Amino acid sequence: MLNFVTLFNSGYLTRGMVLYQSLLKQCANFHLYIVAFDAATFEYFKNNPKKNLSVISLEQFEDTELKRVKPTRSVAEYCWTCTASTILYCITTFKLDNCTYIDADMRFYSDPKVLVDEMGENSVMITDHLYTAKYDQSATSGKYCVQFVTFKNTIDGMTVLNWWRNACIDWCYNRVEDGKFGDQKYLDEWPKKFKGVHELKHLGGGIAPWNAQQYRFTTKGDKIIGTDIASNKSFEAVFFHYHSLKFFENEIVHLADAAYDLSENVIDTFYKSYVKEIISNYRTVQKSDPTINANGVFGPAKYLPMSFATLKKYYLENIRSSKRNMLGANLSKQMKNHYYFYLNSFH
C-alpha cells in the first residue's frame, strides 16, 4: 500500500479534496492522511468521512518541540516546519512501512505507484524542480521541490527523516540564509550526505508552471501523454503541481504567476479541468458548511480578467514605470501571461 500525508487549512480545502479524489481515481491501493491545520478542516472530514482517508487534528499532531517554535514562525513557515514531522508522525503512529508527503495543490493523472517503484531498494526519494532554464531558482529555492517526498521505514530512511525534522525545527523561514530556504533547500544536501537517496527520473512526476514550457501534451483516452521537446521522449503525466493558483473576490481565479509562460496546450490540458473540479467541490462544501472559505479567497484581485480596461491599466502602469514604455513594449507579454479569469468561463 502507498501511504500519503498532506497538510492544509480550510483555505485549501477544495484543493485537498481534488487531490484526494484524483488518488481515489488513479491509485489502486493507497491511504491518505490529512493533518488539518484548522478546526474547520478537521470537522469537515470528521462529518464527511471518506474511504482511504484519515484526518488528524493539530491537537493530535503537534508535539512539544513544534509547539515551542510555532510562535517564532509565520503561518506559511510553520507549515513548512511541520512537513517532515507529518511524515514522521504517520510512520510512527500508524506503523507504516512507507509514507510520501504530497503538497495539497496537486492532482494525479495516473497511478503514482510508478514513481515509488522507481526507488527500487533506496529508502528516500526526492523530485527535481526541473526548471526551464530562464526560471532556474536552484540557488535560492533549491534544486529539489518538497512536493512529493517518499520515505521508507528503514534505518536509512528514518536517519534522513529525523535529520530533516530536527533541521526544520532549528531553522525554517521564508528567506535565504546560509544556504538554507524554508524546509526545501535542505534536500540539496541529501544525495551526498546520506545513503539510499534516489532522485526521481520520471518526467511525469512534477509537471509545474516552472517546467511545463519544456513539454507538449496530448490526451489519449483518459491518459495525458507528455513529450519532452528537446529529446522527443514521451512520458505519461503522473501529477501536476498547481503552484500559486489563487482565488479572489468577484469569482476570479488567477492560474499562475505571470512570470511563467504557459501555453494554451498546458492551460487546456491541465488548468481548465482542475478549476472545474475545484468549483464542483466548493459547491459540495457549501452545502455542508457555507461559512467555510474553502477556496481561500484572498480579497480583491490586482487585475480583472482581460478587457480593454485591464489593458489600459497595464499600459498606464508601464508608462509610470518608464517613459520608454509609451510604445507598449511590454503589453504583448502581459496580455499573453494574464492568467486572471472569471470562474464562469470554466463551466
Instruction: Note the pLDDT tens digit of each residue in 140-181.
Output: 999 999 999 999 999 999 999 999 999 999 999 999 999 999
Average pLDDT of the chain? 96
pLDDT beyond 70 at 321:
yes
Across the range 301-320, mean pLDDT stands at 88
Give the model confidence (pLDDT) of 204-255 as tens digits.
999 999 999 999 999 999 999 999 999 999 999 999 999 999 999 999 999 9
- Strand bridging mode 205-207 / 239-241: parallel
Given pLDDT bands bounded at 50, 70 and 90, which one contains residue 14?
A: very high
C-alpha cell at 141: 529555492
Domains and CATH numbers, the chain: 2-214+236-241 (3.90.550.10), 246-346 (no CATH)
Q: Which residue has the cell 493539530?
A: 58
Across the range 28-47, mean pLDDT stands at 98
Exposure on the CB side of residue 282, measured as CA atoms within 13 A: 17
pLDDT beyond 70 at 329:
no
CA dihedral sign, ordered 80, 52, 255, 130: positive
Contact between residue 135 and residue 119 where contact means Cβ atoms under 8 Å apart? no
pLDDT value for 34: 99
Nearest to 37 by CA among 81, 4, 98: 81
Instruction: Answer yes or no: pTM beyond 0.75.
Output: yes
Nearest to 150 by CA among 110, 202, 97: 97
Contact between residue 255 and residue 267 where contact means Cβ atoms under 8 Å apart? yes
Give the model confidence (pLDDT) of 244-295 as tens digits.
999 999 999 999 999 999 999 999 999 999 999 999 999 999 999 999 999 9
